[in-house]
Structure 1
Amino acid sequence: MNYLAHLFLSGDDADLRLGNFIADSVRGAQILQYPPRVQQGIRLHRLIDSFTDTHPVVAESKNRLRPTCRKYAGVVADVFYDHFLASSFHRYSPLSLPDFASAAYAQIQQHPDLLPPRVHHFLPYMVKQNWLVSYAHISGITRALTGLSSRTSFDSGMEKAGEELELYYPYYLREFEQFFPELQAYVSQQIELIRN
């Protein structure tokens, strides 16, 4: 899953949400530099990624993407799934997507001392361009994936993924709708275990 899903799945816990958000920029023993609840958010992020990466429904999405996006099929599937969450956010949250995004940005920006350098670098762009809300539109997904593609050292195919999403939209949507409730249940269980 991508940024929106990780933030959303953290619930209302600001420290858990912060850890979940920064986790991709925290390596190995660096986790020990963070407060305990932020560490739990980092671990939750890794559990979400592991659950997603090994799920058979997600494998269907990745297999369909592999001819176009090769080793980046998993990255693209994550971004596609954020699109489906964003475009139907009202089904999952009492908050509107713009309100949720504004609150999430504000929470993250309250802790500049805890943000890894990579997050410090991209966060201003994320907020200014309102990535989380832009994910609701195929144009936003295309822009995000084209940006990712420009940072790879070889032809990734990610810049063509927007066309792929349009072409097979019902298939990816169905897979997301099968997968996401299972992920939500798994994450709720993991958060309960963290609390105890």
Structure 2
Amino acid sequence: MNYFAHLHIASLTKTSWAGNLLGDFPVVASQLDDDLYQGWRLHQMVDVMVDEHPASLAFRVMPRLGRRRFAGIVQDIAMDYWLIQYWSKFSDEPLALFCQRAVEGLVKDKRRTPERLMRMIESLEEHNWLANLGQINGVEKAIHSIMRRWRHGHHLQSFVEELPEVIEQAEQPFLLLYPDLLDFVAQQMKKTEVITHMTPAE
């Protein structure tokens, strides 16, 4: 899952908007405030679950130009695309309102985030581009952003060259995976709630 899905999960779990994005940025987890740490930890669990889900494994082995070992990176971005396409299936909130709330929540914690995330939040303040992740050109921009800052980024060019096909390949994996992911997140939050409310005597 990429930015949009993690923000959706933050909204559903009422955990920190910024914290749920911190898993994609360099941080020292032990130095995070409790609310940011909870979001960071949830992000880590989500990423592991998604990586190990059968739908993700099936997506990574589909025939395509891009190298299999890097397909997971593109899958995360394509999953955001499909979440936006199927938004009404997973939320009763209008997409534009959700995007507005997400940015407002991120801005509140902007000064507590690493510099790169802070710059991203400032970019969202200037032009809220979250909904653009549901457009092919938005997906392409997201991939190019990774390519610019990652030393192995050139390996993603093949995915860009057949992007419409790659996005289409991600639809069924998304529909199989995302409901399972939301169930998984709900279970994790219940476990956290139980632990939080237990007394030493219990």
TM-score range, shorter chain: 0.7 to 0.9
Asked if 1:21 corresponds to 2:21, the answer is yes
Q: CA RMSD in A?
A: 2.2
Over alpha carbons, which structure has the higher Rg? 2
Distance (whole Å) between structure 2 residues aligned to residue 155 and residue 65 of structure 1: 20
Which runs of 5 or more structure 2 residues have no equivalent in the other structure? 195-202
Return the match for 2:120 from 114, 119, 122: 122
Tell me the secondary structure at the aligned position of residue 122 of structure 1: helix
Tell me the secondary structure at the aligned position of residue 64 of structure 1: coil
2:185 aligns with 187
1:69–1:157 Cα contact (<8 Å) kept:
yes
Asked if 1:61 corresponds to 2:41, the answer is no
1:31–1:39 Cα contact (<8 Å) kept:
yes
Q: TM-score, normalised by structure 2?
A: 0.84
Return the match for 2:140 from 134, 142, 154: 142
Aligned length: 194
1:41 aligns with 39
Aligned amino acid, residue 5 of structure 1: A
By how many angstroms is 1:163 displaced? 4.8
Which runs of 5 or more structure 1 residues have no equivalent in the other structure? none
Deviations 1:95-120 (A, max 9, x none): 12221111011011112331112211
1:20–1:44 Cα contact (<8 Å) kept:
yes
2:11 aligns with 11
Identity of aligned residues (%): 25
Distance (whole Å) between structure 1 residues aligned to residue 184 and residue 131 of structure 2: 25
Distance (whole Å) between structure 2 residues aligned to residue 57 and residue 33 of structure 1: 35
- Shift in alpha-carbon separation, 1:183–1:7, aligned structure 2, 3 A: same
Q: TM-score, normalised by structure 1?
A: 0.87
